[in-house]
Amino acid sequence: MTSERRFRIGVLGSGKGSNFAAIADACRAGVVPAEVVLVLSDVAEAGILEGATARGIPARFLSPGKFRTKLDEEAERAYIAALRGAGVDLVVLAGFMRVLKEGFLGAFAGRIINIHPSLLPAFPGLDAWKQALAHGVKVTGCTVHFVDAGVDSGPIIGQQTVPVLDADTPETLHQRIQTAEHALYPQCVAALARGQITVQGRRVLWRNP
């Protein structure tokens, strides 16, 4: 008797990979019914690669090519080929600091997700926690969303709030947002792996298991 094929995740990251670690560890613990089968990074010395290797997960640096903020065409083809070769069902962005363009989005249409450190649509773009402090909001948080051609503009899968304290600095607020991310991201990935998520226009609906 053959076992049922597990839901397969590919992760892209450019930094330490704390969200990757949260997802991978939740998979290993059985909290997320899936497995991370490949980690790719555009930064050769990125901590996410070390974290993947330590967990026995295949991990590779792939050159992003000649551009600073996106993959060039050759790099895009290499990333797509690597993810397809690993048979991934979902592409998870975990601090991947490159904008994905039409070719990549088309190759994995409706199967790319990202986490952003604000309650979108508020404060898209870089340093969202600093934007929140500068605007004086009392509540911010994090958002898991599908990736589209815009900047942090795809349909929202899930959100978690984080209070902004009077004594907060950018560093303390960012740290608490990251703690919320490490809880929210595995929850959303688990729902996708279980087939609980449907999308109607820009609305994302959760079906109870």
Active site residues: 116
Distance in angstroms (rounded) separating the CA atoms of residues 122 and 143: 10
Alpha helices in 86-127 (DSSP H): 102-107
User: For 154, which DSSP code?
Assistant: S
**Please, how many CA atoms are within 13 Å of residue 4, restricted to the half-sphere of its CB?**
4
Distances (CA, A) of 151 to 15, 51, 69, 124: 19, 28, 12, 7
